[in-house]
Amino acid sequence: MKDDFLHGGALDRMQIAYPNAPAPWVDLSTGINPWPYPVGDIPASSWQHLPTEAALQTCRAAMARAIGAPEASLLLAPGSELLIRLLPTVIAPRSVALLSPTYGDHARAWRASGAEVIETADPLALAGHVDALVLCNPNNPTGMVLERSHLGQALARQAARNGWLIVDEAYADLVPALSLAPMAGAGNLIILRSFGKFYGLAGLRLGALLGPPALLEAMSQRLGVWPVSGPALAIGAQAYADGLWQAETRDHLAAARRRLDKILLDSGLWIVGGTDLFRLVKTEKAPQLWHRLAEAGLYVRRFDYAPDLLRIGLPANAEAEHRLAAALSP
Protein backbone atom coordinates (compact mmCIF):
# COMPACT_ATOMS: atom_id res chain seq x y z
CA MET A 1 0.00 0.00 0.00
CA LYS A 2 1.44 3.36 -0.98
CA ASP A 3 2.42 5.81 1.75
CA ASP A 4 0.04 8.46 0.44
CA PHE A 5 -2.88 6.09 1.02
CA LEU A 6 -1.58 5.27 4.49
CA HIS A 7 -1.19 8.90 5.52
CA GLY A 8 -4.80 9.79 4.81
CA GLY A 9 -6.24 12.67 2.84
CA ALA A 10 -5.48 11.12 -0.56
CA LEU A 11 -9.10 10.75 -1.58
CA ASP A 12 -8.38 11.38 -5.25
CA ARG A 13 -5.98 8.43 -5.32
CA MET A 14 -8.41 6.23 -3.46
CA GLN A 15 -11.07 6.93 -6.06
CA ILE A 16 -8.66 5.80 -8.77
CA ALA A 17 -7.58 2.71 -6.83
CA TYR A 18 -11.19 1.69 -6.09
CA PRO A 19 -13.16 2.83 -9.16
CA ASN A 20 -16.14 0.61 -8.38
CA ALA A 21 -16.69 1.92 -4.86
CA PRO A 22 -20.07 3.58 -4.36
CA ALA A 23 -20.19 7.36 -4.48
CA PRO A 24 -19.98 9.69 -2.75
CA TRP A 25 -16.92 8.61 -0.85
CA VAL A 26 -16.90 9.08 2.93
CA ASP A 27 -13.48 10.39 3.94
CA LEU A 28 -12.78 9.46 7.56
CA SER A 29 -9.00 9.41 7.14
CA THR A 30 -7.85 12.82 8.33
CA GLY A 31 -9.13 13.57 11.85
CA ILE A 32 -10.43 16.96 10.69
CA ASN A 33 -13.73 18.44 11.91
CA PRO A 34 -16.33 17.52 9.25
CA TRP A 35 -18.46 20.55 10.25
CA PRO A 36 -16.17 23.47 9.34
CA TYR A 37 -16.40 26.99 10.61
CA PRO A 38 -18.94 28.83 8.44
CA VAL A 39 -16.93 31.09 6.19
CA GLY A 40 -18.87 34.26 5.46
CA ASP A 41 -18.12 36.99 2.98
CA ILE A 42 -14.41 37.66 2.69
CA PRO A 43 -13.52 41.29 1.94
CA ALA A 44 -12.44 41.70 -1.65
CA SER A 45 -9.33 43.48 -0.43
CA SER A 46 -8.16 40.23 1.20
CA TRP A 47 -7.98 38.68 -2.25
CA GLN A 48 -6.84 41.70 -4.22
CA HIS A 49 -4.06 43.12 -2.04
CA LEU A 50 -1.02 41.78 -0.27
CA PRO A 51 -1.73 40.87 3.37
CA THR A 52 -1.46 43.94 5.57
CA GLU A 53 0.28 44.22 8.91
CA ALA A 54 -3.06 45.27 10.41
CA ALA A 55 -4.74 42.07 9.20
CA LEU A 56 -1.87 40.01 10.58
CA GLN A 57 -2.06 41.70 13.97
CA THR A 58 -5.86 41.31 14.13
CA CYS A 59 -5.65 37.58 13.47
CA ARG A 60 -2.74 37.14 15.85
CA ALA A 61 -4.55 38.99 18.64
CA ALA A 62 -7.72 36.93 18.13
CA MET A 63 -5.77 33.68 18.24
CA ALA A 64 -3.83 34.74 21.33
CA ARG A 65 -7.07 35.54 23.17
CA ALA A 66 -8.70 32.29 22.05
CA ILE A 67 -5.90 30.07 23.30
CA GLY A 68 -4.87 32.18 26.29
CA ALA A 69 -1.36 32.99 25.07
CA PRO A 70 0.62 36.23 25.39
CA GLU A 71 0.27 37.89 22.00
CA ALA A 72 3.98 38.69 21.77
CA SER A 73 4.80 34.98 22.02
CA LEU A 74 2.91 34.05 18.85
CA LEU A 75 4.06 33.91 15.21
CA LEU A 76 1.48 33.08 12.54
CA ALA A 77 2.44 30.66 9.78
CA PRO A 78 0.86 28.86 6.81
CA GLY A 79 0.06 25.74 8.83
CA SER A 80 2.00 23.82 11.47
CA GLU A 81 3.40 21.28 8.98
CA LEU A 82 5.83 23.82 7.53
CA LEU A 83 6.90 24.80 11.04
CA ILE A 84 7.70 21.16 11.85
CA ARG A 85 9.98 21.00 8.82
CA LEU A 86 11.65 24.36 9.46
CA LEU A 87 12.17 24.04 13.21
CA PRO A 88 15.33 21.90 12.89
CA THR A 89 16.89 24.77 10.92
CA VAL A 90 16.19 27.20 13.77
CA ILE A 91 17.38 25.09 16.67
CA ALA A 92 19.95 22.34 16.27
CA PRO A 93 19.58 19.72 19.00
CA ARG A 94 21.87 16.72 18.75
CA SER A 95 19.45 14.42 20.57
CA VAL A 96 15.66 14.43 20.29
CA ALA A 97 13.22 12.23 22.21
CA LEU A 98 9.72 11.69 20.86
CA LEU A 99 6.65 9.90 22.10
CA SER A 100 5.97 6.78 20.04
CA PRO A 101 3.67 6.29 18.29
CA THR A 102 2.94 9.88 17.32
CA TYR A 103 2.61 12.13 14.28
CA GLY A 104 5.32 10.77 12.00
CA ASP A 105 6.56 14.00 10.42
CA HIS A 106 8.25 15.03 13.66
CA ALA A 107 10.67 12.10 13.57
CA ARG A 108 11.22 12.50 9.83
CA ALA A 109 12.09 16.19 10.18
CA TRP A 110 14.55 15.66 13.01
CA ARG A 111 16.22 12.67 11.37
CA ALA A 112 16.64 14.65 8.16
CA SER A 113 18.48 17.29 10.19
CA GLY A 114 20.99 14.73 11.43
CA ALA A 115 19.79 14.61 15.02
CA GLU A 116 19.75 11.38 17.01
CA VAL A 117 16.06 10.52 17.38
CA ILE A 118 14.92 8.42 20.32
CA GLU A 119 11.35 7.11 20.05
CA THR A 120 9.88 5.93 23.34
CA ALA A 121 6.56 5.22 25.01
CA ASP A 122 7.68 7.29 28.02
CA PRO A 123 9.44 10.41 26.75
CA LEU A 124 8.92 12.30 30.01
CA ALA A 125 11.43 9.90 31.58
CA LEU A 126 14.05 11.40 29.26
CA ALA A 127 13.34 15.00 30.26
CA GLY A 128 16.64 16.57 31.24
CA HIS A 129 18.62 13.95 29.32
CA VAL A 130 18.08 15.08 25.70
CA ASP A 131 18.48 18.36 23.87
CA ALA A 132 14.86 18.42 22.71
CA LEU A 133 11.78 16.62 23.96
CA VAL A 134 8.92 16.51 21.43
CA LEU A 135 5.36 15.70 22.48
CA CYS A 136 1.94 15.90 20.86
CA ASN A 137 -0.75 16.82 23.39
CA PRO A 138 -3.30 15.37 22.82
CA ASN A 139 -1.31 12.76 20.97
CA ASN A 140 -2.09 11.68 17.43
CA PRO A 141 -3.15 8.89 16.91
CA THR A 142 -3.49 7.49 20.43
CA GLY A 143 -5.24 10.48 21.99
CA MET A 144 -3.06 10.23 25.08
CA VAL A 145 -3.01 13.47 27.08
CA LEU A 146 -0.35 14.86 29.38
CA GLU A 147 -1.32 17.12 32.26
CA ARG A 148 0.09 20.62 32.53
CA SER A 149 1.81 19.78 35.81
CA HIS A 150 3.77 16.91 34.25
CA LEU A 151 4.74 19.05 31.28
CA GLY A 152 5.80 21.84 33.62
CA GLN A 153 8.14 19.45 35.41
CA ALA A 154 9.54 18.28 32.08
CA LEU A 155 10.09 21.89 31.03
CA ALA A 156 12.03 22.61 34.20
CA ARG A 157 14.29 19.62 33.62
CA GLN A 158 14.85 20.58 29.99
CA ALA A 159 15.64 24.17 30.96
CA ALA A 160 18.19 22.94 33.50
CA ARG A 161 20.27 21.50 30.64
CA ASN A 162 19.43 24.38 28.29
CA GLY A 163 17.28 22.04 26.21
CA TRP A 164 13.88 22.46 24.60
CA LEU A 165 10.40 21.18 25.33
CA ILE A 166 8.43 21.15 22.06
CA VAL A 167 4.69 20.55 22.33
CA ASP A 168 2.55 20.03 19.24
CA GLU A 169 -0.94 21.16 20.27
CA ALA A 170 -2.66 20.48 16.94
CA TYR A 171 -5.66 18.99 18.76
CA ALA A 172 -5.55 21.15 21.90
CA ASP A 173 -8.58 23.21 20.82
CA LEU A 174 -10.61 20.16 21.83
CA VAL A 175 -9.37 20.36 25.44
CA PRO A 176 -8.13 23.91 26.11
CA ALA A 177 -7.25 23.13 29.73
CA LEU A 178 -4.36 20.96 28.52
CA SER A 179 -2.62 23.75 26.66
CA LEU A 180 0.64 25.32 27.75
CA ALA A 181 -0.23 28.44 25.74
CA PRO A 182 -0.47 30.63 28.89
CA MET A 183 3.22 29.81 29.52
CA ALA A 184 4.28 30.66 25.96
CA GLY A 185 7.23 32.99 25.65
CA ALA A 186 9.11 31.32 28.47
CA GLY A 187 12.60 30.24 27.52
CA ASN A 188 13.02 26.62 26.42
CA LEU A 189 9.32 26.12 25.55
CA ILE A 190 8.10 25.79 21.94
CA ILE A 191 4.43 25.24 21.07
CA LEU A 192 2.96 24.44 17.67
CA ARG A 193 -0.70 25.21 16.96
CA SER A 194 -2.91 24.22 14.04
CA PHE A 195 -6.07 25.97 12.84
CA GLY A 196 -7.42 23.49 10.31
CA LYS A 197 -8.29 20.48 12.44
CA PHE A 198 -10.70 21.92 15.03
CA TYR A 199 -12.08 24.60 12.72
CA GLY A 200 -12.42 22.12 9.85
CA LEU A 201 -10.63 24.31 7.31
CA ALA A 202 -7.38 22.45 6.68
CA GLY A 203 -7.12 23.84 3.15
CA LEU A 204 -6.78 27.34 4.58
CA ARG A 205 -3.25 26.62 5.86
CA LEU A 206 -3.00 28.55 9.09
CA GLY A 207 -1.04 27.76 12.22
CA ALA A 208 1.31 29.31 14.74
CA LEU A 209 4.62 28.96 16.49
CA LEU A 210 4.72 30.05 20.13
CA GLY A 211 8.05 30.65 21.79
CA PRO A 212 10.63 33.16 23.03
CA PRO A 213 11.37 36.28 20.94
CA ALA A 214 14.68 35.11 19.45
CA LEU A 215 13.09 31.89 18.22
CA LEU A 216 10.17 33.74 16.64
CA GLU A 217 12.52 36.16 14.90
CA ALA A 218 14.62 33.33 13.46
CA MET A 219 11.53 31.50 12.20
CA SER A 220 10.07 34.72 10.80
CA GLN A 221 13.21 35.18 8.71
CA ARG A 222 12.71 31.73 7.24
CA LEU A 223 9.01 32.23 6.51
CA GLY A 224 9.66 35.50 4.70
CA VAL A 225 7.24 38.35 4.06
CA TRP A 226 3.51 37.65 3.76
CA PRO A 227 3.68 34.11 5.16
CA VAL A 228 -0.10 33.89 5.60
CA SER A 229 -2.61 34.79 2.88
CA GLY A 230 -5.10 37.62 3.26
CA PRO A 231 -8.16 35.32 3.16
CA ALA A 232 -6.60 33.06 5.80
CA LEU A 233 -6.00 36.04 8.09
CA ALA A 234 -9.56 37.30 7.64
CA ILE A 235 -11.17 33.91 8.28
CA GLY A 236 -8.82 33.10 11.13
CA ALA A 237 -9.54 36.38 12.89
CA GLN A 238 -13.28 35.77 12.64
CA ALA A 239 -13.13 32.15 13.78
CA TYR A 240 -10.78 32.72 16.71
CA ALA A 241 -13.03 35.52 17.98
CA ASP A 242 -16.16 33.32 17.84
CA GLY A 243 -16.22 31.85 21.33
CA LEU A 244 -19.83 30.69 21.03
CA TRP A 245 -19.06 28.61 17.94
CA GLN A 246 -16.05 27.10 19.68
CA ALA A 247 -18.05 26.04 22.74
CA GLU A 248 -20.94 24.65 20.70
CA THR A 249 -18.53 22.79 18.44
CA ARG A 250 -16.83 21.06 21.36
CA ASP A 251 -20.23 19.81 22.53
CA HIS A 252 -21.20 18.78 19.00
CA LEU A 253 -17.96 16.88 18.43
CA ALA A 254 -18.27 15.06 21.76
CA ALA A 255 -21.79 13.91 20.87
CA ALA A 256 -20.64 12.75 17.42
CA ARG A 257 -17.74 10.88 18.99
CA ARG A 258 -20.16 9.03 21.28
CA ARG A 259 -22.23 7.98 18.26
CA LEU A 260 -19.10 6.77 16.50
CA ASP A 261 -18.07 4.82 19.59
CA LYS A 262 -21.40 3.00 19.55
CA ILE A 263 -20.98 2.07 15.89
CA LEU A 264 -17.49 0.75 16.49
CA LEU A 265 -18.33 -1.14 19.67
CA ASP A 266 -21.48 -2.64 18.16
CA SER A 267 -19.33 -4.01 15.33
CA GLY A 268 -17.01 -5.69 17.83
CA LEU A 269 -14.03 -3.38 17.37
CA TRP A 270 -11.70 -2.56 20.24
CA ILE A 271 -11.26 1.19 20.79
CA VAL A 272 -7.77 1.78 22.16
CA GLY A 273 -7.57 5.57 21.97
CA GLY A 274 -8.51 8.75 20.18
CA THR A 275 -9.92 12.24 20.63
CA ASP A 276 -13.29 13.83 19.94
CA LEU A 277 -12.22 14.08 16.27
CA PHE A 278 -11.16 10.47 15.70
CA ARG A 279 -11.01 7.03 17.28
CA LEU A 280 -8.19 4.51 17.18
CA VAL A 281 -9.19 0.85 16.92
CA LYS A 282 -7.12 -2.30 17.12
CA THR A 283 -7.83 -5.51 15.25
CA GLU A 284 -5.61 -8.22 13.79
CA LYS A 285 -7.72 -7.98 10.64
CA ALA A 286 -7.07 -4.26 10.13
CA PRO A 287 -5.62 -4.60 6.58
CA GLN A 288 -8.59 -6.67 5.42
CA LEU A 289 -11.03 -4.32 7.13
CA TRP A 290 -9.37 -1.28 5.55
CA HIS A 291 -9.76 -2.89 2.12
CA ARG A 292 -13.39 -3.81 2.80
CA LEU A 293 -14.21 -0.28 3.87
CA ALA A 294 -12.48 1.11 0.77
CA GLU A 295 -14.57 -1.13 -1.46
CA ALA A 296 -17.63 0.35 0.28
CA GLY A 297 -16.42 3.90 -0.43
CA LEU A 298 -15.16 4.56 3.11
CA TYR A 299 -11.62 5.85 3.57
CA VAL A 300 -9.94 5.40 6.97
CA ARG A 301 -6.33 5.75 8.14
CA ARG A 302 -3.88 2.84 8.20
CA PHE A 303 -0.40 2.76 9.74
CA ASP A 304 2.68 1.13 8.26
CA TYR A 305 4.32 0.85 11.70
CA ALA A 306 1.23 -0.73 13.31
CA PRO A 307 -0.70 -2.91 10.83
CA ASP A 308 -3.26 -3.83 13.48
CA LEU A 309 -4.44 -0.22 13.97
CA LEU A 310 -6.98 1.92 12.14
CA ARG A 311 -7.87 5.55 12.83
CA ILE A 312 -11.46 6.48 12.02
CA GLY A 313 -12.72 10.05 11.86
CA LEU A 314 -16.20 11.37 12.53
CA PRO A 315 -18.91 10.69 9.92
CA ALA A 316 -20.43 14.00 8.83
CA ASN A 317 -24.09 12.94 8.76
CA ALA A 318 -26.54 10.14 9.48
CA GLU A 319 -26.09 8.63 6.01
CA ALA A 320 -22.32 8.39 6.51
CA GLU A 321 -22.86 6.84 9.95
CA HIS A 322 -25.23 4.28 8.42
CA ARG A 323 -22.77 3.40 5.64
CA LEU A 324 -19.97 2.93 8.16
CA ALA A 325 -22.12 0.74 10.39
CA ALA A 326 -23.23 -1.35 7.42
CA ALA A 327 -19.69 -1.81 6.12
CA LEU A 328 -18.46 -2.85 9.57
CA SER A 329 -21.20 -5.42 10.04
CA PRO A 330 -19.75 -8.96 10.07
| Distance in angstroms (rounded) separating the CA atoms of residues 279 and 4 | 20
**Residue 93, phi then psi, degrees to nearest 5:** -70, 145
What band does 5 get if pLDDT is binned at 50, 70 and 90? low
**Domain locations in the chain as residue ranges:** 11-36+245-328, 44-241
Question: CA quadruple 109, 13, 9, 7: dihedral positive or negative?
Answer: negative
| Distance in angstroms (rounded) separating the CA atoms of residues 273 and 173 | 18
| Distance in angstroms (rounded) separating the CA atoms of residues 246 and 200 | 12
Average pLDDT over residues 29-39: 97
Average pLDDT over residues 49-77: 98
Average pLDDT over residues 197-207: 97
Average pLDDT over residues 103-125: 96
- Give yes or no on whether 11-36+245-328 and 44-241 have one common fold: no
Q: What's the topology of domain 44-241?
A: Aspartate Aminotransferase; domain 2 (3.40.640)
Radius of gyration, CA atoms only, the chain: 20
| Range of weakest confidence among 1-10, 151-160, 181-190, 307-316 | 1-10
DSSP line for 48-69: HSPPPHHHHHHHHHHHHHHHT-
Q: Report strand pairing: 95-99 vs 116-120.
A: parallel
Q: Which CATH architecture fits 11-36+245-328?
A: Alpha-Beta Complex (3.90)
| Interaxial angle between packed helices 104-112 and 80-90, expressed in degrees from 0 to 180 and rounded to the nearest 10 | 30
- pLDDT for residue 4 is more than 80: no
Reported as a single tens digit per residue, the pLDDT across 305-327 is: 899 999 999 999 999 999 999 99
Q: What are the residues whose beta carbons fall under 8 Å from the beta carbon of 303, sequence distance 6 or more?
A: 6, 101, 141, 309, 310, 311
At residue 2, the pLDDT reads 46
| Distance in angstroms (rounded) separating the CA atoms of residues 204 and 252 | 22
- pLDDT for residue 73 is more than 90: yes
DSSP line for 271-296: EEEEETTEEEEE-TTHHHHHHHHHHT
DSSP line for 66-107: HHT--GGGEEEES-HHHHHHHHHHH---SEEEEESSS-HHHH
